[in-house]
Amino acid sequence: MGRQVWFDRGERALGLSIVMPVLNEAHALTDALRSLEPLRRRGAQIIVVDGGSGDGSVDAARPLADVVLPSSRGRAVQMNTGANVARGDVLLFVHADTRLPVDADLLILEALARNHQSWGRFDVRLNSCHPLLRLVESLMNVRSRLTGIATGDQAMFVRRTTFEKLGGFPPIALMEDVAFAARLKRESKPLCLRARVTVSSRKWEREGAIRTILLMWRLRLAFFLGADPDELARRYYRCDRRHS
């Protein structure tokens, strides 16, 4: 049994629900969910929300998750769907190509129990030895600390009460994580955990680090200037298909 994590008032242990949105992730899903087994044994609830996969993702998830749900396509909708059935006091949102530290649940719950903040995220490590990507991940982590904005790659976590108060992720096609982080920042500063989640560098290596950085900067700037998220999503996925 893992050690329990208590509120400062000593009332009861915080519970954690992990929500993973997936779409045609069968190639990575078994490994992703097996990596969460230590957390599940300590009581974390694992929820997989499928956005209409046609590759066997649902079958891959069933033996390794507590709940597997169908949903309309779109990460925001899928994550909100998972949150609606979560039983935990704390919600953790994880992509299928992200690997958490083995003690991620303890780190999150202890940090929240010690502090008054309502949300947070991890530092990122890209799973590549390329020196340029070492620089990229460092800049991502520093930028997040300076701005108080997190992205989905950083495994965002939030108290359930705060999530419900803010209405969850905005149902937009892209930048739902950035938009939600901006709302969360008005509630409290984020807990920036220095423990690192490991994120797939496949996109960066396929499309080129510099090209990917410039694309994301352009899209994020356009979003903050009021561009239509649907149009930004079309630009993002058009670029993704061009280099796949």
In the predicted model, residues of the chain with pLDDT beneath 50 are 1-11, 242-244
Question: Beta strands 98-99 and 191-199: pairing type?
Answer: antiparallel
pLDDT score recorded for residue 239: 57
Digit-coded pLDDT (tens) for 235-244: 666 655 544 4
7 φ, ψ to 5°? -65, 155
If we measure between CA atoms, which residue out of 148, 149, 147, 157 comes closest to residue 195? 157
Class of domain 16-199: alpha beta
pLDDT in tens, 9-37: 344 568 999 999 999 999 999 999 999 99
pLDDT of residue 129: 80
pLDDT of residue 167: 97
Task: Give the gyration radius of the chain's Cα atoms.
Answer: 17
Question: So what's the pLDDT on residue 46?
Answer: 98
Contact of 71 with 115, CB cutoff 8 Å: no
Tokens of 202: 């496949």
Beta-strand relationship, 191-199 and 67-70? unpaired
Residue 235's pLDDT is 67
* Amino acid, single-letter form, for residue 116: H
pLDDT for 48 = 98
Q: For the whole prediction, is pTM greater than 0.95?
A: no
Are the C-beta atoms of residues 43 and 16 closer than 8 Å to each other? Answer: yes
What is the b/e burial string over 94-120, where b = at least 16 CB atoms within 10 angstroms of the residue's CB?
bbbbbbbbeebbbbbbebbeeeebbbb
| Domain locations along the chain | 16-199
Q: Phi then psi for 20, rounded to 5 degrees?
A: -125, 110
What sections of the chain are H helices per DSSP?
26-34, 37-41, 57-61, 75-85, 104-114, 131-147, 160-166, 176-187, 202-207, 209-224, 229-242
